[in-house]
Amino acid sequence: MFGLFKKEEFKIVAPVDGELIPLAEVADGVFSEKIMGDGFAVIPANGAVCAPLSGTAETVFPTGHAVGIKTKDGIECIVHIGLDTVELNGEGFHPLIQQGAKVKAGEPIVNFDKEALEQKGYKLTTMVVFPSGYDHAFDLGKRTVASGETLI
């Protein structure tokens, strides 16, 4: 009973297994120049994506390539899977949640067919950007990370 009102600790986790890289290394100016906000990226090793933080899925794009999550404290984050993947109109993406769903950091939110999308020539670098509510220096370096691994 005493844990009933315990406030969940804020954390940001890796959205996928893979190679963590700075946004500046993403091959798309919208992300590398931080036009949508600061954050980080992971070159995925597989097609399983989890929520990078706990909150509400404010937007689940019909194409499945992106999810917007907002915390109860107003921190907004966008998980964007791949470069130019909106062009696929949902082909190869399988959202596991719907708009309005409550998610916890590390909970699966989207699956995608990594091999099929790569065969079509798409880069699947997965970006996590913070358009508002979170001012943090994302100097996370470059390294291999596991999905759900705490980064911040």
The residues annotated with a catalytic role in the active site are 80
Instruction: Report angle CA 74, 43, 73 to the nearest 5 degrees.
Output: 5
Helix (H) or strand (E) holding 39: strand 38-44
Write the CA distances from 138 to 57, 119, 128, 129, integer angstroms.
23, 31, 11, 10
Largest CA distance in the chain: 53
**Which residues partner with 49 through β-bridges?**
110
